[in-house]
Amino acid sequence: MNINGKHFETIQIRNGDKPVIRVIDQRLLPFRFEMKDLYTVKEIYSAISEMIVRGAPLIGATAAAGMYLSLFEYTGDSNVDEYIENTAGYLESSRPTAVNLSYAVRTMASEIKKGSTLKMKIKIAGESAQQIIDKERENCLRIGEYGLPVIENISRKKKGKPVNILTHCNAGWLACIDYGTATAPVYLAHDRGINVHVWVDETRPRNQGSKLTAWELRQHGVPCTVIADNTGGHLMQHDMVDMVIVGCDRATTNGDVANKIGTYLKALAAKDNDVPFYVALPSSSFDWTIADGLKEIIIEERGAEELKYMEGLYNDKITSMLITEGVCNAANYAFDVTPARLITGLITEKGICRAERDSIMNLFPDKKSL
């Protein structure tokens, strides 16, 4: 997407004697826009665990690039395919909930193993990592195209008055490669002159909504308003929300969805107020091996300091300040599970389906046997 009129994507593999992975340091946004170069598998691991990069599709793409980098660190003193397996396991342990991470490293590992020489493996790895990046970009564009008619229908019913869309966390282009998932239909609608307005949940404790979603929407000229996370229900009760669209970190074959903490509460409010609740996700965000989200999805717990300190700009410096007593206990669950029964539809790169097994498998018949 464009920043000050110039097109940017979230990740770039810069090939040379030794590849460099260039990403946007999302910890500094919206106050500073800085690219960061990653040279080693360890730096890739930290970029994911410390959330320099975040968002399920981008986490996957970054890990895929890490698998490519790993072949340049291979010393030859162990079996190369074992080394690749260990690297995949290491990168997979950087964060537990977004399934795109294991999807990407496992895809890379199986591709790399097809190479008979190290030179071949390096070539395959470079191409496969780029393919994962290109596929995620393509997926998001398709999600935009399939989601657009949902917004168009509401716009028609409202005779062109603003379509008020609520979103939670950042499932925008910053979380993907380009276009975003939840934001893709919004960008397409806006670019087609449809009147849209986005309610942006600030999304405590790391504020991906107020820091990232509001910034990228504003960069593209999409009207938006930042709200406290507890405001959405009130707005729905007063018919100020026409639809909710969020992203996904891991969806099950039954249609249960894990996403940023707080998504479940938005889904409950939407159900109580008959507001359509959509989840936008690429097929790489499905965990085809599990059905019951509440029982089977691992929910990341992050450090208490993320909750007890708030980061912001003070005297032109990004500063962190304590917002509770230092001795207080704090629990920081990063995701929750929205049961399929609260979801109106899943918007994927293959079309929209209901959040239920048969409907999902109709869109992805090749997954039936898994």
Residue ranges in contact with ligand MRU by CB under 6 A: 54-57, 98, 169, 171, 175-176, 181, 208, 247-249, 259-260, 334
- Residue 125 vs 217, nearer CB to ligand MRU: 217
* Least distance in angstroms from the C-beta of 41 to ligand MRU: 20
- Residue 123 vs 142, nearer CB to ligand MRU: 142
Q: Are 44 and 69 in contact (CB under 8 A)?
A: yes
- Residue 69 vs 98, nearer CB to ligand MRU: 98
Give the H or E element holding residue 80.
Answer: helix 80-92
- Residue 56 vs 217, nearer CB to ligand MRU: 56
For helices 118-157 and 100-112, give the axis angle rounded to 10 degrees: 150
- Residue 19 vs 205, nearer CB to ligand MRU: 205
Sequence length of the chain is: 370
* Least distance in angstroms from the C-beta of 199 to ligand MRU: 15
CA atoms of 269 and 266, how far apart (whole Å): 5
Distance set, CA 139 to CA 19, 65, 143, 159, 180 (Å): 25, 18, 6, 30, 9
* Least distance in angstroms from the C-beta of 7 to ligand MRU: 19
229 is catalytic: no
CB atoms within 10 A of CB 240: 15
* Least distance in angstroms from the C-beta of 47 to ligand MRU: 12
Q: Which residue sits closest to ligand MRU, CB atoms considered?
A: 247
CB atoms within 10 A of CB 115: 17
Identify the three-state secondary structure at position 12. Answer: strand
* Least distance in angstroms from the C-beta of 60 to ligand MRU: 10
**224 bridge partner residues:** 198
* Least distance in angstroms from the C-beta of 207 to ligand MRU: 10
Q: Are 278 and 244 in contact (CB under 8 A)?
A: yes
Candidate list 201, 229, 249, 287, residue with the active-site label: 249
Q: Are 21 and 27 in contact (CB under 8 A)?
A: no
CB atoms within 10 A of CB 321: 10
Distance set, CA 209 to CA 196, 262, 297 (Å): 17, 12, 23
What is the number of alpha carbons within 13 Å of residue 352 lying toward its C-beta? 18
Report, as residue numbers or ranges, the catalytic residues.
249
